[in-house]
Chain A
Amino acid sequence: MKRAGAEVRIIVARSLDSPLPDPTFALRRLGPGAHIEILHGAAACRARCREHSVDLIVAEAGPGAECWELLDAIAPDGPPVIVVHRDRSERAALAAFERGAADCVVAGEEFPDVLPVVALEQIQRWRAARDQDVAERRIRDLESYNQNIIQNLNSALLVVDLDGRIVFSNPPAEEILGESAEALRGRPIWPWFPETPRGEVHVARTLATGERFKGVESTLTRADGTPVPIGISSAPVFDSAGTELGAVAVFSDLTEIKLLQRKVLQAEKMASIGQLAAGVAHEINNPMGFIHANLFQMSEYLTDLRRVWDEVGALLEAVGGGDPAEVRRCSAELAEASKQVDVDFVLSDFAKAIRESQEGSERIRHIVNDLRNFSHRDSEHPVLADVNRFLESTAGIVWPMMKHLVVLEKEYGNLPKVGCYPMQLQQVFMNLLVNAYQAIEARIGGSGETGTIWLRTEPRAGGVAIIVKDTGIGIAPENLDRIFDPFFTTKKVGMGTGLGLSTCFNIVERHGGSLVAESEPGVQTTFTVWLPGGNAAERAG
């Protein structure tokens, strides 16, 4: 006979003085997985049903009301109850069915054979119903779970059909798109990308080719014309049979992040400028030093020359007076004053002091100019420009801080114009140059030796390559992969933000280019920036 496969728990509800045969023996034929327990009274059965998952109750219809009480207590939502009774009359069975019994079995000769079959059937039916309940509840839970996630997701979520019409949107999507869920449903998404040709909208590409995007930057335009920078990921959506239904897009508003990015960039630049300030102060200090001293000395020279001039005046007066003795006396005085003052020397050194001071002030003017260029805010859009010019200007700014330790070898190639954000590029060059200098300082600082930095540019692969090579301390192989990570630094606390190279990397990436480092520690280290020619920064931006 068929047995109940898994473990089953059966309660036999029996009065102590029951005249009926004990059903336990018959139920044992269900196999060793059947746990049979004899209980007395409705309350005990009910309690057990609450504690355990009971699969079946077999209750005897005794002379008292016990069986009916049990049915009332269990039948509405509990496990199936099979009523065993002595009476073959239909009336008794009907009464039991009315009270909710699952089945009725007569305690006759065939009872030991019939009961297990009926019991098994009831158990299977009950379990099937229960499994379905559980499945339905799980589906409901899952739905509300997903719904919860989607609704409370910080990111915007849109599902579109194959035509790009909105099928579903969550609240953040509604906020970014600037419309309610009702207004969005069924609308195509293309009007939010008025500037982009239809075929180039990321979602359109996903729909057309199944291409998936992960966090790419784009800009959407609200109905009122407000542009919103977004980061968007999109993927095709399929049903369980594998038929494409449309696409799902997750995106977030990058306005604040962009703002923050710009601030970090500016902060990093300011930090670099702080680093520079000391070097620049020194570079200004030297010419200031001699201009200051020269001015002081020139005023002394002027006093000296005035003294001689006074004697010249006296001599002229004496010549006018016509007294030869007076003329001789004044002439001698003039000669004496000239000798004391050393007019020849003063005149030539005065001229030299002026010339040197002019050179000094020209140097200061140059430094201040470079620095002012550097602290400018960048243009909003990339401009076509000559990278050599920026490199030269940046080298001019950092040179003073390193010239006591470094020989700078420059070799500028003939370059095509590059679309770029000039200030950002200068920041990259400055970081690379300052790093190169610091690497040299770390290796030979204080030893009296000098290091070399090579600065080379050349046209390469339709763009330009800027190569900064130094003979500094180098980068250990295990660090080479991490140098572009934000906040990674091997410099002493307070010496570096750990943002320099990661900022460089981001800037170069924004230009659609690449930044690569190679190092042979103790020998040489090379950073190569490659930037695409033409206005690639616009496309990448």
Chain B
Amino acid sequence: MKTLAAIGIGAIGPGLADWSQTREILSGRVAYQEGPAPAPAPAMLPANERRRSTPATRIALEAARQATAGLDIDVAGLGSVFASSDGDMDLIDRLCTDIYGNRVPVSPTAFHNSVHNAVAGYWSIAHGCRQGSTSLAAWDGSLAAGLLEAATQLACTERPVLLVAYDVPATGALAPHRRFPAPFACALLLALGPVAGSLASLDLELATAGAEDRLPADLGPMLEVLRAGNPAAGILPLLRVVARGAGGGVRLPYLDDLSLIVRVS
């Protein structure tokens, strides 16, 4: 696998507004304070879509925005990968509740927004981006699957790729069946590495499954709860290595028999 360069990073979750705040917390310079999960309205969408956008769309598009903000890149030329274990469970709950509980016609908007690639669709519309985009899932390994897909796209197209990973708790009848402690989204703008001035170089390697890296106790228990319980937040140990700037390897969960090792330099 070719080396990747992380050019931009986005991160958003409870008490984590953006990458610069997340970096300060993960490097130990600022104490983590759990807060409400932010859900900024995506300014990139037209007013109607912005108003109707779901929490999943809001958090994913905010992470994407952060990773590309202030960079001299052509966003419309980016390939993209959107990784989420279960997408927008609220919309599935709404469709099923309308059909079997309320016995009313389903909402066409809820239906078309329920596709797993709705967030990718909104992102491509917002930026006029006609490059290919892949929306995928791999249960608790969705982040790792997204990293692999992004890395292979990058290697084969030699075009920068935006990876967005997001997982958002359900609030309806599905909630007890797939519990996420809080919403979290992250984004990495990746180019073929190494690139001078990039935030980090990443090398990916598959390995037999083993215990994934956890966050150290000195960061407090709540961030580790988020990491362990939200597949997208599985990126936090990797972001911690980037934040500390010393390099190192991180083992991320992928499949029941495989881990993904990411070496950061």
State yes or no: do A and B come from one complex.
no
